[in-house]
Amino acid sequence: MRCNGAMNDAQKTDAQQSFLDLLHAQRVWDVDLPAFDPDAAPSAPLPLFHIWFAEAVAAGQAEPHTMSLATVDAEGRPDVRTLMLHDADERGWHFATHRTSAKGRQLAARPHAALGFYWPVQGRQVRVRGPVTETSRAESLADLHARSTGALAAALTGSQSEVLDSQEELARTADAAWERASAEPDAEVAGWTRYVVEPREVEFFQGDAGRRHVRLRYRRDGAHWTRELLWP
């Protein structure tokens, strides 16, 4: 797919200036931000994540379960995308995808990842880094079948990250996938895999209007966690 048409230098300059004017007009955290006392934080990161997640939901944060997943490709170049959190338990932070997708292939070659959550309604971020493992086939299928018909249809559509010839091809394939998902709610999807990021580092960031941001990092030290404050 190619796009035709070009702007002259004056049009490019005007378009760039319009973008910069719009960009610089944006503001961050024009709301009252919650306080965060790191000395009162729990000894491990998971309970604090559960608390902050619940508080994000209560504060009206849209889609608080979405997160950025960063991986690296075969050449060591970083890659990132947004997807949904499926669970956060003692094993780690869970997500799912096709093993044959770009991220699935990257994780097969280099099984490490980083996650990023951003909840601007409270000026909060959470970052997670660690090795990635696959769950069992049974757990992966249970994960898929616990979700909506639409999620199953999307998984059945398959070919994620592959080149698409046309929107018409997608429409035909998606329609067929929806029909099958509705008729076979227990349909299996080859390659659908649930992954777990086993945390080695977890950082909690609380924004502050005066730019005195609080950053608390948990770092795994054997079976225990070390907590440390970071300069903002």
What distance in Å separates the CA atoms of residue 133 and residue 197, rounded to the nearest whole number? 7
Q: What angle do CA 92, 96, 98 make, to 5 degrees?
A: 140
Question: Tokens 């059945």 — which residue?
Answer: 156
What distance in Å separates the CA atoms of residue 69 and residue 72, rounded to the nearest whole number? 10
Encode the chain (232 residues) as per-residue pLDDT tens digits. Answer: 666 656 788 887 999 999 999 999 998 888 889 999 999 999 999 999 999 999 999 999 999 999 999 999 989 999 999 999 999 999 999 999 999 999 999 999 999 999 999 999 999 999 999 999 999 999 998 988 887 787 878 788 877 778 888 888 888 888 888 888 888 788 778 889 999 999 999 999 999 988 999 999 999 998 899 999 999 9
pTM for this entry: 0.88
What size, in residues, is the chain? 232
